[in-house]
Structure 1
Amino acid sequence: MKQSAENSPAVKRLVLIGGGHSHLSVLMRLGMNPVPGLEVVLITRDVHTPYSGALPGYISGIYDFDDIHIDLRPLCQFANIRLIHEEIHQLDLSGKRVICKDRPPVRFDVLSINIGSRPNASKIPGAADHAIGVKPIDHFLSDWNRVKQDALKHLENSEPYSIAIVGGGPASVELAFSSQAAIQSAAETSETDGSLFRVKLLTADTQLLKFHNNRVKDFTRAELERRGVELFFDHRVTEFKPHTIICDGKDPVKADVIFYATGASIPQWPADCGLAVDTDGFIAVNTHLQSISHPFVFVSGDAANIEGHPRPKSGVYAVRQGKPLAKNLVRYATGRKLKTYLPQKHALALMFTGDRKAIASRRNWFFHGHWVWALKHKIDTDFMRKYARLPAIEPTLRVQRGLVDSETEDQLREHAIRCAGCAAKVGSDTLQSVLSRLKPATQPDLVGDLTTTEDAALIKITSERMLAQTVDYFRAFINDPWLFARIATNHCLGDIYAMGARPHTALAIASVPFAARQIMQETLDELMAGCVMTLNEHDAALAGGHSNEALEMAFGLSINGYGHPSRLLSKTGAREGDSLILCKPLGTGTLLAADMRLKAKGRWMDAAFDSMLVSNRAAADAFINYGAHACTDVTGFGLAGHLAEMLAGETVAAKLEIEALAVMEGAVSCLQQQIFSSLHADNSRVRDIMEIDATASNTPLLELLFDPQTAGGLLASVPASEADKCMKELQSKGYNEARVIGQVIERTEDAPAIQIK
C-alpha cells in the first residue's frame, strides 16, 4: 500500500460497492487518470464479475469462463484501488460506514453502489428451495453445469428430461434457445426431437418480449415453436414445489429442473439502511446518478431508477452510465459542479438464438442471422478486451548512465520491480555473510548462537520450559491492511510452530503511510484488528508494540512462545529413511510477482490468500505426534533453500520427487511466463548443492523449489513407518494439499545434498 504514484497522502476516501458494468468504467478512468489524494476502495461479492451479455454464449458452449468474466483484481491493481472480497448487506449512512461481516467497518466520504439486480421471482414461495435464478450469475453457472450433466446422463440412459424456464423477457428467451442448443448438441439429438428432452417456457403475459416490436415477438415465438420449445402464456406463478410450478388458475407444470429469469428487483438492504427508493423498490437517483436522499451516495445500473427517466433494466444502460458516473464521482469528491446525465430512450437489443445466429432490434427495426451474431460477438469481445488488456507495468531503473556497464544495468532493470512479503528478505548468502562477522555477547541460558539456523531463538527458563523467540516484518504485498495483517501474523507464528512451541505473547510493529489523520487511524485500526483476530485464534496475547509513519505499509511481530524440551522440534536431525512431508502448496512468490505485474487472475490470488491464512499449528502437532526428527517452515528462501538449511552439516541428503509437489493454481502458468519473485535469483544459488536429473530439469515445477513463500507450510522429516498415519492426520485437520515430497537418504562423500528427480 503506497501513498500514490505521485507520493501524495490520501485525504479523502471513495468506496465502490459492487463490480457491475458502471463501476468498470470508474476503475478504468481512475487507473488512466488517478486523482492525487483520493483513496479508492472496491468492495465486491464477485472478483470475477460476469458479463451478462455473453452468458448465452457460455451456456451454448461457445465461450469459456474467462471469456464471459472480467477479472477485477488486475484492474484494481492497475488503478491502485484496494479490493475487498465481501458481500455487503448493511450501511451506516449517518456515520458514513460500510458494515462488514468479520472485519472493521470501512468509512467513506463518497459512496457509489453498482450491485445489479436479481429476478423478482426470488420472492415467490419455494423459489429458494425448488428453482434456480439466472442471477447471481456465479450461482447460476454452478447450477447450470450440474443440470447439464444431469440432463446428459438421463438422455444417455434413454430417460426423459425437461427444463422449465419462468419469464417472458430477453433473458428467458435466450436461456431457452441456448440451453436447448447446448444439451442437444452434447447429446447429439435434433432440435425437433422432443420425445426425450423438452424445454418449457412460461410467462405471466399473453406474449413474449413485451417491450420489443411485433416483428421480433412474432419471429421469436415462431422460432421457439419450430424448435419444439413448449410455450405457456398467461401462467402467473404463485409457488414453486419440487419439480413443479404452481400457477394461478392453471394446471401445475412439471419439470426436472426449474429456472427463472423474471423482471428485476434488488435486495431490501438499501431501503433498510435509509436510502430513498421508488415504488418498485429501486434506489431513487437524480440525473447526476446521485441519491435523492443522501447526496454523498451515487447509484448506477439496475439498482437505480433515474427520476423522470424510467428505462428497462439492461446492461446497455449500466455500461452507458459508467463514464458520467466516473466524472461525477470525481467532481463531487473535488467539490465541483456535477454533470447531468440523460439516458438514451432506445437502445440496440441483441438476442442470441443458440445457433450462432442472433436477433437485432431497435424501435421498429428487426434483423436475424449469422451476421447479427458476428456483430454481437464483436461487441461483446471488444467490451471484455477493453478491461482485460491493461497497460504493461514496465520496471523503471534510476541509475545514472555510465555508473555501471550495460550488462549490469540490464540485470538491475530486470529486477527493478521488488517484491514484498517474505520475498523482500535479504538473500541467504548476503545474510550469512553478515552474521558470520558479528561477535555478539553470550548468555548461559541461550541455546545456540547466530550460527545456528533455527527458526526461533531458544532460551532455557527451567528444565521443563523453554522460551522460543522470533521476529518477522515485511512490506505489504496487498493494499488491504486487514487481510495483510492477518497473513503477516500467521506468517510470524509459523516460526514458533516450526519449533514445536506454543505462542504466548507478541509485540507488533506497524508502518503506516502518511495520510489525513482519520485515514491513518483507520489503516492502523485495520492492521491491528487483523493482527489481534489472528493472535486470538492462536491463544496468543498482543502485549504491545510500536508504530511509525512510512512511505509504504509494512507490518511485523516479535513473538514469544513456550514449549517443553521433549516436544520441541529442531531444523536439523533428519535421519536416513525418513519421509519428507510438506503440509501446504507452493507458489506464493511467483503469484505475488504476477499480481504486481497485472498478470495474476483474481481467483488465483484468492486461493493463494486462503492458503496463506492456513495456520501451521495443527501440522506441528501432527509432526510432533508422529515423531518428526526435523522441521522448518518454508518461507522466503524457498523449499530448496530451507531444505538446504535442514541438511547443512548433516551426514544425510534428500531426494525430492518434483511431481509430488502440491502447487497453487496459476503458479505454473506464471513461471512459464518467466515471472519470478525478486528473491528467486538469490534463492536459485542453492543449485550448487543440487543434482537434477534430465526429466526434472525440463519441467516448470523445478523453479518452484526456489520460489519464496509467504506464510508457507511446515516441512518435516518423519519416520517412514509413521508417514502414512501422519498424512492421514494432516488431511483430517484440513491440510488437503499435504504431500510426501521425498525421502532422506545416505549422503556419500562429495555427493549433492539435494537430488531432484
Structure 2
Amino acid sequence: MAVLVGAGHAHLHVVRQSAQLRDAGVDPVLIAPRWFHYSGLATGVLSGALQPEAAKIDVEVLARECGVAYRPGRVVGIDRSDRRLVLDTGERLTFDAVSFNIGSEVAGSGNAQPAVMLWPVKPLTELFELRRALEAAARTTDAAPTVVVAGGGQSGFEVAAAVTGLMERLRLRPRVFLVVAGAPAWGPSRARDRLLQVLTGRGVTIVGGAVIDHDPGHCCLADGQRLPCDHLVWAAGLRPPALIGALGLPVADDGRLRLHPTLASIADDAIFGAGDCAVVDVAPRPGAGVFGVRAAPILLHNLAALGDGRPLRVFRPQRSWLSIMDLGDGRGLAMRGRFWWLGRSALQLKRYLDLGFIRRMRARLPQPKDAAHDRL
C-alpha cells in the first residue's frame, strides 16, 4: 500500500492517474483535508477578481471518482521502524511506501493582539478570510482599513497588490504598507523596479525594515518605527510543516526533506516527497508550484514501480521557470529567467494556466475497474 500524505499539486495528479498504480499492484490511500485551495488563484480571490469557489477542489470527491481510498485529516506522527503513520484521529495506518506533498507554512508570525488582526499567507484560507474582513469593514466606513504586509518576497508584493486591488474594487482609497527587510532579491531587477513603480503609483507605501511586534492599532519595526495597522499580513518567509522535521530523516538547511532524484528520501527509499516540503539534493530549487507539477509524473511512475519492478525514473528540475504574479488590477508580471513582461496578457496567461489546472482536476473520470491481482 502506498499512502499519499497531503493533496498538493503532485498528489492530485497521482490521484487522477491512480489506475496506473492499481495496474502495477499498488493500492493508493490519500490522507488530506477535504478541500484543496490552489495557491495560483489565491491572490485573485483576495483581490476580488475571483470567488473563493474558483480556487477550491473537493479532494474527497476527486478521490472517490478516481477509486482512491480517502481519509480526511492529517498525519501527526510516524513510526518508521514499524511502517506506521499516526493520524490526528488517533488511527494508525500501516504503509509499504509513503509520499509527502504537504506544502509549507508561514514562519515566525507571532501572536496577534485582539485589536490587530494577523493574517498569515498560509494556509490560503486566511487570505480568503482577510478578504471577507476587509469587505465587511468597507460596509461600515468610508475609509479603507490600514493593511500592513510584512515580507519582501514575491508573496509579499503580490499580496500587497491584491489588497490594493480589492480596495480599488470597493472604491476606497488604498491604505497599504509593504514592509521590506533589505533589497528584494527575486526576479530581474528591472522587473522589480517596474513593479515598485506600479505599486507606489497605486498608493502602496514601501517601508524598509522588519516587523517585530504589533499592538492595538499599530505594528512595530526593528528600527523603532510604528506604522498604523488594522490588519497585519505576514508573508515574511515560509518553512516546511513540523511533520517533515519529525520524520527523523535528513533535511536541508531550510527544513525541507532531502531527496534523491528519484524523489525518495536520501536515507529511506520507502519515503517520498514532492513540492514545497522537499528538495532534490543535487538540484535544489526554491519552493514553487511548478516543481510539484513537473515532479508528479515521475512520482507516479516510481510509486507504481514499487509494485511491478520497473526501473525508477529521475526528476530533473528545470533551471528556469515561468512565474506570473497577479497584480490585482487586471495585469500580471510574468518572469522567466532574465526575461519579463508586465501587462494584461501576462495575467490572461496566468488565468489560462491556473484555471486549466482546476478544470483538469475537477473533470469527471469513468469509475476505475477493480484489479484482481495482489496489491503492495
Task: Give yes or no for TM over 0.5.
Answer: yes
Count, aligned residues: 373
Give CA-to-partner distance per residue, 1:475-531, whole Å, 9 cap, x none: xxxxxxxxxxxxxxxxxxxxxxxxxxxxxxxxxxxxxxx9979x9xxxxxxxxxxxx
Correspondence for 1:206 among 183, 195, 201: 183
Residues 36, 344 of structure 1: CA spacing in aligned structure 2 closer, same or farther, 3 A cutoff? closer
1:349-360 superposed matches below 5 A: 349-360=323-334
Structure 1 unaligned blocks of 5 or more: 1-12, 397-513, 520-757
Contact 1:110/1:333 (CA < 8 Å) preserved in 2?
no
Contact 2:323/2:334 (CA < 8 Å) preserved in 1?
yes
What is the alpha-carbon distance in structure 2 between the residues aligned to residue 128 and residue 161 of structure 1? 17
Q: Structure 1 residues 93-102 or 241-250, which shifts more?
A: 241-250
Which residue does the alignment assign to 1:259?
Answer: 233
1:458-473 superposed matches below 5 A: none
Contact 2:106/2:120 (CA < 8 Å) preserved in 1?
yes
Residues 99, 66 of structure 1: CA spacing in aligned structure 2 closer, same or farther, 3 A cutoff? same
Contact 1:152/1:183 (CA < 8 Å) preserved in 2?
no
Question: Which has more helix, going by share of residues?
Answer: 1
Which residue does the alignment assign to 1:316?
Answer: 290
Correspondence for 1:113 among 100, 120, 131: 100
1:41 equivalent in alignment to 2:16: no
Q: Which amino acid aligns with 1:296?
A: A
Normalised by the length of structure 2, the TM-score is 0.92
Which residue does the alignment assign to 2:63?
Answer: 76
Which residue does the alignment assign to 1:339?
Answer: 313
Residues 128, 91 of structure 1: CA spacing in aligned structure 2 closer, same or farther, 3 A cutoff? farther
Which residue does the alignment assign to 1:85?
Answer: 72
Which residue does the alignment assign to 2:194?
Answer: 219
1:52 equivalent in alignment to 2:36: no
**1:127 to partner: Cα distance:** 5.5
Which residue does the alignment assign to 1:539?
Answer: none
SS at match of 1:131: strand
Give CA-to-partner distance per residue, 1:540-561, whole Å, 9 cap, x none: xxxxxxxxxxxxxxxxxxxxxx
Which residue does the alignment assign to 2:359?
Answer: 385
1:557-636 superposed matches below 5 A: none
1:499-578 superposed matches below 5 A: none
Runs of 4+ deviating beyond 4 Å: 127-130, 514-517
What is the alpha-carbon distance in structure 2 between the residues aligned to residue 344 and residue 173 of structure 1? 25
**1:55 to partner: Cα distance:** 1.1
Residues 364, 226 of structure 1: CA spacing in aligned structure 2 closer, same or farther, 3 A cutoff? same
Give CA-to-partner distance per residue, 1:603-638, whole Å, 9 cap, x none: xxxxxxxxxxxxxxxxxxxxxxxxxxxxxxxxxxxx
Task: Between the two structures, name the one with larger relative contact order (CA 8 Å, sep ≥ 6).
Answer: 2
Give CA-to-partner distance per residue, 1:627-680, whole Å, 9 cap, x none: xxxxxxxxxxxxxxxxxxxxxxxxxxxxxxxxxxxxxxxxxxxxxxxxxxxxxx
Q: Which amino acid aligns with 2:169?
A: S
Residues 128, 313 of structure 1: CA spacing in aligned structure 2 closer, same or farther, 3 A cutoff? farther
Residues 90, 241 of structure 1: CA spacing in aligned structure 2 closer, same or farther, 3 A cutoff? farther
Contact 1:213/1:364 (CA < 8 Å) preserved in 2?
yes
Which residue does the alignment assign to 1:181?
Answer: 165
What is the alpha-carbon distance in structure 2 between the residues aligned to residue 121 and residue 104 of structure 1? 31
Give CA-to-partner distance per residue, 1:141-194, whole Å, 9 cap, x none: 234312331244232xxx4520111111222112111111112212x23xxx4x
What is the alpha-carbon distance in structure 2 between the residues aligned to residue 313 and residue 75 of structure 1? 25
What is the alpha-carbon distance in structure 1 between the residues aligned to residue 61 and residue 220 of structure 2? 46
Contact 2:20/2:304 (CA < 8 Å) preserved in 1?
no
SS at match of 1:89: strand
- The root-mean-square deviation of aligned C-alpha atoms, in Å, is 2.5
Give % identity: 26
**1:101 to partner: Cα distance:** 2.9
Which residue does the alignment assign to 1:375?
Answer: 349
Give CA-to-partner distance per residue, 1:196-221, whole Å, 9 cap, x none: x40111111223xx120012111000
**1:245 to partner: Cα distance:** 2.6
Which residue does the alignment assign to 2:111?
Answer: 126
Which residue does the alignment assign to 1:63?
Answer: 50
What is the alpha-carbon distance in structure 1 between the residues aligned to residue 336 and residue 137 of structure 2? 38
**1:107 to partner: Cα distance:** 0.8
